[in-house]
Amino acid sequence: MDATKTIIEAVGKMRQRRTSPLMLELDLTEGLTDAPPADPVSALLSMRRARLSDVIGGLRRARRDPRVKGLIVKIGGHPLGLAMVQEIRNAVVHFRAAGKLTVAWADTYGEVANGTVPYYLASAFEKVYLQPSGDVGLTGVAIEQRFLKGALGKLDVDYQVGQRHQYKTAANMFTQDHMTDAHKEMTGRLAESLTEQLVAGIAEGRGLEPKRVRELIDQGPFYGQEAVAAGLVDGLKYRDEVYADHVPEDSLLLYVARYAKTALPKMPHPGEQVVALVHGHGAIRLGRSGRSPLGGGSAMGSDTISAAIRAARRDDKVRAIVFRVDSPGGSYTASDSIWREVILAKRAGKPVIVSMGDVAASGGYFVSMAADVIYAQPGTLTGSIGVFGGKAVLGGLLGRLGISTEIVAEGANAGMFSSTRPFSDSQWARVNTWLDRVYDDFVDKVAQGRGMEREKAESLARGRVWTGADARDNGLVDELGGIEDALAEARKRAGLAADAPVRSYPKINPLERLMPAESSEDKTAATARVRLEAWGPLAAFAAELGLPAAGPLVLPGQWVIR
């Protein structure tokens, strides 16, 4: 009897799982990943995180699923970049428009901290709740820059750095003790553009006038009762109360990412034409993708990304390529290698569509600019068309420490990159010649890729960082949207069905990852590895001088808006 009862209960549970109403959940406290793990370390670190593509795809499918009644999202914990938040937010808006319930709740939207971006995400939901002990840290956008010139001067450290041009502020933290006029102008417009986006979204989501949202930002942060009175949240509730009020007793809870995986994926039939999806994330470096064993995040290796695009170009089943870029830039030569593969793919008759993530600037813009169409979110940080280079001079500091250095060299400039002495006039002239060459090449390729006069490209360059919204208005990107929009555009341009399969490139099984590549044309040449260097032969020099490890086409510091 016990065995029979157990079987009956098991069958009943299976039937319930197939037929009961569903309430989808999304827990953002661990954050999201934007790309499949490129190496074992990345796979381990992202084990508990859902994939952005699963969340977006799951919500798209759920809009048409009558079993799905609503979505409950816990917001907080791991910060998300603004562009990723906007991608999730758009998916929630469409899900809500399909007549589904949407509920956002949080322990706190910023605990004695700025919670503007998390609250901006919550404002897209029909119902917004806050734990009674929580707060709404709606305080606006602040972009802070620290300057080390004074401290370095006290240590007898000098910096010789050239940059092209006035908005390329990567080295300013070493060479200035305040924002230059250009630096302040650029940063001010970034803060203004981002605030415009946040205000518009919150006003629309909460049914408030934009002017009122501006006033609330100036009055924040808010404790719970104040947030309710201001119309920012609908009530103060603990988790159990939120679920008791909005989850029907006969429904099942299921995470969005798990729901997305319950659908049978549309696998390409033999010979069926597909869209290739290539992910490029992290600082751009020479060699293969991967991450440093000492931390610092993933890196986009030119050999890996070039091999992936090349494999897609040579595959007769691939009709178009979507290149997802989320990078602050890095090595100029590595960026140029990837740019070349984009050009070759287009020459082969395969449209290339770029989808920008949180940041696609400097080298991240370099690898994107040749695409047929570029999509960005309004809050994406992009542009920064410029270059910098130079060195720190540590001779004074070493002398104060009692450390002496001698160089024996053959060649007038053999020791020009030594950190113990400044450049000579002729050496500094060579550095500036290199900076001019890189900058001119960058601007020329922007003009070529974006179909604009060089003078126009130059006016948008000069190292200036733009939001995606401003970049679209200026012609540096084509459309505002996310990865789903880019995939739809790729299918359209390739003449494929709206549900044509998408295949990640390179598609390499675990056994192939263990095997050495037969040649540089072998798809296993696109595998990632653990790596360190980014400046090529100048890697040790750059590390010693405290220059950004990624390379000369890179944004300084943390530029993701959270």
The gap from C-alpha 143 to its chain's centroid, in whole angstroms, comes to: 18
207-222 pLDDT per residue, tens: 999 999 999 999 999 9
Q: How far apart are CA 100 and CA 63, in angstroms?
A: 7
Helix, strand, or coil (residue 21): coil
Q: How far apart are CA 363 and CA 189, in angstroms?
A: 22
Helix, strand, or coil (residue 67): coil
390-448 pLDDT per residue, tens: 888 999 999 889 998 888 888 988 889 898 999 999 999 999 999 999 999 999 999 99
Instruction: Please state, as a whole number, how many other Cβ atoms lie within 10 Å of the Cβ of residue 227.
Output: 25
Note the pLDDT of residue 295. 47
pLDDT category of residue 265 using cuts at 50, 70 and 90: low
Q: What is the DSSP letter of 253?
A: E
Residue 559 pLDDT exceeds 60: no
- Considering only 125-129, 250-254, 375-379, 538-542, which range has the smallest mean pLDDT? 538-542
| pTM of this structure | 0.88
Do residues 315 and 350 touch, judged by C-beta distance below 8 A?
A: no
- CA distances (Å), origin 412, targets 404, 408, 409, 424: 21, 11, 8, 10
Residue 513 pLDDT exceeds 90: no
Residue with tokens 């024996």: 408
pLDDT category of residue 128 using cuts at 50, 70 and 90: very high
251 as an active site residue: the answer is no
Residue 547 pLDDT exceeds 90: no
In degrees and rounded to multiples of 5, residue 275 shows phi and psi of -105, 130
Do residues 123 and 198 touch, judged by C-beta distance below 8 A?
A: no
Structure-model confidence comparison of residues 451 and 529, the more confident one: 451
CA atoms within 13 A on the CB side of 400: 8
Residue with tokens 């010139």: 149
Token duo for residue 74: 């816990």
Domains and CATH numbers, the chain: 12-139+220-262 (3.90.226.10), 274-387+434-554 (3.90.226.10)
- Considering only 365-379, 414-428, 496-510, which range has the smallest mean pLDDT? 496-510
Of the candidates 127, 168, 237, 445, the residue annotated as catalytic is 168
- Considering only 137-146, 214-223, 245-254, 505-514, which range has the smallest mean pLDDT? 505-514
Token duo for residue 373: 């169409």
Q: How far apart are CA 166 and CA 178, in angstroms?
A: 14
184 as an active site residue: the answer is no
Share of the chain above pLDDT 70, in %: 83
Residue 4 pLDDT exceeds 80: no
Residue with tokens 């250009």: 182
318-363 pLDDT per residue, tens: 999 999 999 999 999 999 999 999 999 999 999 999 999 999 999 9
Of the candidates 362, 368, 384, 418, the residue annotated as catalytic is 362
- Considering only 154-168, 265-279, 541-555, which range has the smallest mean pLDDT? 541-555
The gap from C-alpha 495 to its chain's centroid, in whole angstroms, comes to: 29
